[in-house]
Amino acid sequence: MRVAVVGLGWVGREVWLPRLLAHPDFEVRAVVEPRPDAVARAGALPAGVTVHAHHEDLAPGEVDAVFVLTPNHTHAEIAGTFLRKGLRVFLEKPTGTQADDLRLLADAAQAGGGRLVLSAAARHRADVRALADLVRAGTLGTPRLAELSWVRGRGVPGSAWFTRRESAGGGVLVDLGWHLVDVLHHLWGASPVRSATAVTSADFLGREGWSAPWHAAAGPGAAVDVEDQVTALVATEAYGLQLRCAWGSFSELDRTRIVLHGTAGTAELDCTFGFSPRRAPERSLRLYDGEGVRDLPLPPAAIGDEYDGQLDSLAAAFAADDATAAALGDADAALTVVAACYRAAARAR
């Protein structure tokens, strides 16, 4: 598959581009990045890779698929451009920061015949797949309550646009919370939101020492007007959701927990999503049921394997006739939860 990478910020430069260059299913033909310094930081590109300054510069027929890895507020416009041209588009989360973005993408795909697949790498983690196996086997029974948390001790993103609502659409809830909600919907299915209660705060943004060590610092004077912590309780028609996310805290380690309570058992996954070096020392999956408590085996996994896993399945995902409808359905479900939490936090303030 001939691909173009649009956007060489951190996720493009450090996560997707090197994996695409190494993967046998893909041939990187072009990159799009207006900033020469960002292109330079990406390192030497293979011979024959064209560098464009603007996404409109990609010639018709130059590529089969486009990875849109740009700042959040540009996702719908840029992805929509390629969908109207009939291309396959892989879009980094969040798909959009408002419902209008999803309508734009749907209209563009219908007009041009392009297909959309969303970045959902966390679904491809080996430990999440093990948790999904329990759910599919009916081991937990009927869903009742999900406890989701991703708390970093030192993890404020360094890119300046990440901490501005205008460009990011929100803070830690849009960033880490989107991953958690998407995984929950993958495991239990989405359910209409009945009500939400949420509180947000921003105690660590701009403070010395709380930036993510794997992320370039934004530099002095970067604007910050988003939340770095959120705690929410969401009632859906099928189950309850307790959500806690933080870019900064006094936690010693950066940790992710997914706890699913059902009528027949509880499963607890303890790990660390993402690339933080301050990780939980071991991953664990524990099952509590009528037979007691059991630690379940997890297959070995390296940091970042989930991204390779999504690339392995990408050709099949694009080939599905309902690819775009499924992607936009997943995006709408996640955005509905995120928006409900933001509305509740605004009411609390």
Yes or no: say if 200 and 347 are a contact pair by the CB < 8 Å rule. Answer: no
Q: What does the pLDDT read at residue 94?
A: 92
Rg, C-alpha atoms of the chain: 20
Q: What does the pLDDT read at residue 57?
A: 94
**Res 11 pLDDT > 80:** yes
The arithmetic mean of pLDDT across residues 223-252, rounded, is: 95
Q: What does the pLDDT read at residue 200?
A: 97
pLDDT band at 45 (very low <50, low <70, confident <90, very high): very high
Q: What does the pLDDT read at residue 218?
A: 52
Q: Please give the Cα distance from 135 to 142 (Å, whole number).
A: 9
Q: What does the pLDDT read at residue 80?
A: 97
In tens, the pLDDT along 300-347 reads 999 999 999 999 999 999 999 999 999 999 999 999 999 999 999 999
Q: What does the pLDDT read at residue 213?
A: 86
**Res 223 pLDDT > 70:** no
Q: What does the pLDDT read at residue 348?
A: 86
* Per-residue H/E/C for the chain: CEEEEECCCHHHHHHHHHHHHHCCCCEEEEEECCCHHHHHHCCCCCCCCEEECCHHHCCCCCCCEEEECCCHHHHHHHHHHHHHCCCEEEECCCCCCCHHHHHHHHHHHHHHCCEEEECCHHHHCHHHHHHHHHHHCCCCCCEEEEEEEEECCECECCCHHHHCHHHHCCCHHHHHHHHHHHHHHHHHCCCCEEEEEEEEECCCCCCCCCECCCCCCCCCCCCCCCCCEEEEEEEECCCEEEEEEECECCCCCEEEEEEEEECCEEEEEEECCCCCCCECCCCEEEEEECCEEEEECCCCCCCCHHHHHHHHCHHHHHHCCCHHHHHHHHHHHHHHHHHHHHHHHHHHC
Nearest alpha-carbon partner for 146 in 108, 115, 187, 176: 187
Q: What does the pLDDT read at residue 252?
A: 94
Q: What does the pLDDT read at residue 217?
A: 55
Omega within 30 of 0 (cis) for the link into 94: yes
Q: Please give the Cα distance from 66 to 224 (Å, whole number).
A: 31
Percent of the chain with pLDDT over 90: 89
- Which residues sit opposite 125 in a β-bridge? none
Tokens 């009411």 found at: 347
The arithmetic mean of pLDDT across residues 104-129, rounded, is: 97
Nearest alpha-carbon partner for 66 in 112, 124, 125, 123: 112
Q: What does the pLDDT read at residue 224?
A: 80
Yes or no: say if 238 and 143 are a contact pair by the CB < 8 Å rule. Answer: yes
Structure tokens at 243: 């959500």
The arithmetic mean of pLDDT across residues 35-40, rounded, is: 92
Residue 319, judged by CB atoms within 10 A of its CB (0-12, 13-18, 19+), counts as: exposed
Tokens 């495991």 found at: 187
CA 45: distance to chain centroid? Answer: 26
Q: What does the pLDDT read at residue 160?
A: 84
Tell me what the pLDDT averaged over the chain comes to. 95
Q: What does the pLDDT read at residue 222?
A: 58
Q: What does the pLDDT read at residue 215?
A: 74
pLDDT band at 102 (very low <50, low <70, confident <90, very high): very high
Percent of the chain with pLDDT over 70: 98
Q: What does the pLDDT read at residue 216?
A: 61
**Res 41 pLDDT > 60:** yes
| The total number of residues written for the chain in this structure | 349
Please give the model's pTM, rounded to 2 decimal places: 0.96
**Res 6 pLDDT > 90:** yes
Residue 347: what residue type? R
115: number of Cβ within 10 Å: 23
When mean pLDDT is compared across 16-20, 28-32, 146-150, 221-225, the lowest value belongs to 221-225
When mean pLDDT is compared across 163-177, 184-198, 220-234, 253-267, the lowest value belongs to 220-234
